[in-house]
Structure 1
Amino acid sequence: MNRIKKVFTRIHIGLWILFSLLIALQLSQDTAHWLHLTVAVMLTALYVFYSHFLLLTRYLGKNKKRAYFLRLAGIVLTGPALYILLHYRKLDTNDLLSEYYLISLFSIIIPFIFLSWLARITENLVLNTIKKEQLEKQAVEAELYYLKSQINPHFLFNTLNNIHTLVYKQAPAAPEAVMRLSSLMRYMIYESNAPTVPLSREMIYLQDYVGLQQLRYKKSPVVDLEITGDTESCHIAPLLFIHLLENAYKHSPARLEPGAIKVIVEIIENTLTFSIQNPIGKHQNNMLEEPGGIGLPNVKKRLALLYPDQHQLEINNTGEIFTVTLKIHSLHSLVHEREAQLLYN
């Protein structure tokens, strides 16, 4: 907001300099005393403009019409004083005094009262629009933060219990499990605060999550994760896929065969496709309407906020297999837009 006010200040200064030059140029062609007249006109205009500007700042939008009009009358009455006092000609008659008063009143006072009103209204409109956008942005950021924080806490507790068991048994997999959990928590707490992250880092996060979930299964990896394309140059909103993966685990049968959950991540040009498929366990036919479920509704809300009109989300439930396919288009252009917004802010 301060930056916008500084821009308005520069605009004011620039316009006053331009106006003074135009007045000086015009008067220099009409009279030899152009400098006196230019100073008189400029000081009168500045006094009237900013007196009324500050008056509007104080009373605009408030129910104090009487106080406003009384002070406005004072500006109209005192405004011509500077023009008359600084005029180069000697005021030796009342007719000349009234003539100069009327000249300054209609050529300077009234026009600059109107211009100050126009400037105040314009600045208020711009500032209110920016405030509204900032409030909306803060509301969106707060909702996104809330949505990102909705990762199932039971996963953390279950993982800690599994690691405790591994440590108790002095299993070789214990150190690796601790490192995966550390990497996962570091990403969630620190790195995910950025607007976007490299897709490669998001994939490492998913792999750590899969590795920790695998502690529950004695068989070979139950998740088949396939990644194709340049994940380094592609950026994505953090923690966007974790709910889909968590949902797949949650609604799959208790016993999973190797590769039962299939995850495909594909980048073609500037389009990202994320597809996840899992078998449906018993009593899971109504998973989308499950009370307290946050997986798919969470993803839908975040996509609507982050990628409006830039994504497609397809859900297919055959009764035995549940498939979710997410496509996000124009990823590179979206990254550039976010960078531009960060520079602007």
Structure 2
Amino acid sequence: MQRVKKIFRLVHLFVWLLFTFLVGLQLYADGLSYWLPLTTGFILTALFVFYSHFHLLTKYLGKKKRREYFLKLAGIVLTSPLPFVILHPKNSGTWDFFLGYYPIVVITIVPIFLFLSWLARVTETLVLNTIRKEQLEKQAAETELHYLKSQINPHFLFNTLNNIHTLVYKQAPTAPEAVLRLASLMRYMIYESNAITVPLPREINYLQDYIGLQQLRYKNSAVVDLTIHGVPETCEIAPLLFIHLLENAYKHSPARLEPGAIKVRMEIKANTLTFQIQNPIGSNQKKMEVEEPGGIGLANVQKRLQIQYPGQHRLEIVNSGETFTVSLEINGTHTHVHESETQLLHH
């Protein structure tokens, strides 16, 4: 905000210097020998009218104090011609001279700069209010986004600790490995996920760690078939965006899964990232809702997409009764695009 106000001050200074130069140049070109004092008187009158009214509007604009405003405005109108009349090179110090030039200035010069000061004040107020509104909206969005991210950590931790508890209870030899994998996942969630975007390969590694942690529950081959097409290094993505979709796939699948039963497809093409996950539905969950009561899952993902990718995403959810498929398409994931957005948010 202070930067914008500083820009406005520099614009004022530049415009007045340019205006003074043009007025002096015109009077000099007209062959007036007294062009300098005439220019000085004219500019001082213009400055007095403009900034007196400008600050008057700053104080009373939008407030119901019309009487005070008009009384002070009358004072500005009555006193503003004095610099021009007093500094006029033809000033003879007589009442005839004063009464001759005073009304001319009041009628011609004063209304012009009253209007210009009003226009400048309204324009600056509009710009500042717009920026202030955008900042408030951005702060509200960041607060909500922080809240949504804060939901992820305890939700994920709760589910994973339950799984590790089961392994420890059964004295499974994979329990220590599960603890190490969880530590790796938590390190990413705590230290790296606070950024606006992260490199897509890092998010993929996070998903693979999670899949590896979940795989400890199964004795057969990998139950998740993860396929990636394209070059992930060219993309950045909002962190922790896919984890709920993957959690839901495990949660709503049958207790026993065949190898490759959960299919995860990721495709990076041009400036678009497509993520699709499909899982079989357990026999006791064919009539399930999109998210069970008290869950976070898809609702969290949908809100985050609205905040971080407004107008840039498409989310489709299909429940066929046999399989549950979520397809997500995000535009604007190319590294250069997000670097620009990050710089704008930073500034």
Question: TM-score, normalization: structure 2?
Answer: 0.90
Q: Residues of 2 paired with 1:324 and 1:29: CA distance?
A: 75
Q: Does 1:341 align with 2:344?
A: yes
Is the contact between residue 313 and residue 327 of structure 1 (CA under 8 Å) also seen in structure 2? Answer: yes
Give the Å deviation of 1:255: 2.4
Distance 1:110 1:154, change over 3 A: closer
Letter matched to residue 318 of structure 2? N
Query: 3-state DSSP class of the match of 1:63?
Result: coil
Q: Does 1:321 align with 2:323?
A: yes
Query: 3-state DSSP class of the match of 1:287?
Result: coil
Is the contact between residue 278 and residue 321 of structure 1 (CA under 8 Å) also seen in structure 2? Answer: yes
Give the Å deviation of 1:270: 2.2
Which consecutive residues of structure 1, in runs of 5 or more, have no partner in the other structure? none
Letter matched to residue 22 of structure 1? L
Q: Residues of 2 paired with 1:180 and 1:38: CA distance?
A: 79
Query: 3-state DSSP class of the match of 2:188?
Result: helix
User: Counterpart of 1:29?
Assistant: 29
Q: Residues of 1 paired with 2:259 and 2:169: CA distance?
A: 27
RMSD: 2.4
User: Counterpart of 1:297?
Assistant: 299
Give the Å deviation of 1:99: 1.7
Q: Residues of 2 paired with 1:107 and 1:22: CA distance?
A: 18
Alignment of 1:82-121 (within 5 A): 82-121=83-122
Give the Å deviation of 1:233: 1.4
User: Counterpart of 2:18?
Assistant: 18
Is the contact between residue 162 and residue 215 of structure 1 (CA under 8 Å) also seen in structure 2? Answer: no
Query: 3-state DSSP class of the match of 1:133?
Result: helix
Give the Å deviation of 1:146: 2.4
Give the Å deviation of 1:35: 0.8
Q: Residues of 1 paired with 2:27 and 2:331: CA distance?
A: 61
Distance 1:289 1:245, change over 3 A: closer
**Percent identity (aligned):** 67
Give the Å deviation of 1:34: 0.8
Q: Residues of 1 paired with 2:216 and 2:189: CA distance?
A: 20
Letter matched to residue 11 of structure 2? I
Letter matched to residue 84 of structure 1? V
Residue by residue, what CA displacement relative to the aligned partner does 1:266-318 show, whole Å, maximum 9, x if unpaired? Answer: 21222211111111123322221532333222222322333333322222222
Residue by residue, what CA displacement relative to the aligned partner does 1:48-101 show, whole Å, maximum 9, x if unpaired? Answer: 111111111111111111111111111111111222222222323212111221
Q: Residues of 1 paired with 2:79 and 2:153: CA distance?
A: 70
User: Counterpart of 1:259?
Assistant: 260
Letter matched to residue 263 of structure 1? V
Q: Does 1:61 align with 2:57?
A: no
Give the Å deviation of 1:118: 0.7
Give the Å deviation of 1:137: 2.0
Letter matched to residue 122 of structure 2? I
Q: Does 1:309 align with 2:311?
A: yes
Q: Residues of 1 paired with 2:175 and 2:230: CA distance?
A: 32
Q: Residues of 2 paired with 1:239 and 1:179: CA distance?
A: 19
Letter matched to residue 200 of structure 1? P
Q: Residues of 2 paired with 1:95 and 1:301: CA distance?
A: 75
Is the contact between residue 174 and residue 216 of structure 2 (CA under 8 Å) also seen in structure 1? Answer: no
Letter matched to residue 70 of structure 1? L
Which consecutive residues of structure 2, in runs of 5 or more, have no partner in the other structure? none
Question: TM-score, normalization: structure 1?
Answer: 0.90
Is the contact between residue 279 and residue 324 of structure 2 (CA under 8 Å) also seen in structure 1? Answer: yes
Is the contact between residue 198 and residue 237 of structure 2 (CA under 8 Å) also seen in structure 1? Answer: yes
Q: Residues of 1 paired with 2:197 and 2:174: CA distance?
A: 32
Give the Å deviation of 1:171: 6.9
Distance 1:296 1:28, change over 3 A: same
Q: Residues of 2 paired with 1:189 and 1:331: CA distance?
A: 23
Distance 1:155 1:128, change over 3 A: closer
Alignment of 1:176-325 (within 5 A): 176-284=177-285, 285-288=287-290, 290-325=292-327
Q: Residues of 1 paired with 2:167 and 2:325: CA distance?
A: 33
Q: Residues of 2 paired with 1:130 and 1:145: CA distance?
A: 22
Q: Does 1:48 align with 2:77?
A: no
Query: 3-state DSSP class of the match of 2:134?
Result: helix
Letter matched to residue 7 of structure 1? I
Give the Å deviation of 1:194: 1.8
Letter matched to residue 20 of structure 1? T
Q: Residues of 1 paired with 2:10 and 2:183: CA distance?
A: 51
Distance 1:107 1:186, change over 3 A: farther
Alignment of 1:119-198 (within 5 A): 119-151=120-152, 153-160=154-161, 163=164, 173=174, 176-198=177-199
Query: 3-state DSSP class of the match of 2:232?
Result: coil
Is the contact between residue 251 and residue 287 of structure 1 (CA under 8 Å) also seen in structure 2? Answer: no
Is the contact between residue 153 and residue 189 of structure 2 (CA under 8 Å) also seen in structure 1? Answer: no
Is the contact between residue 196 and residue 342 of structure 2 (CA under 8 Å) also seen in structure 1? Answer: no
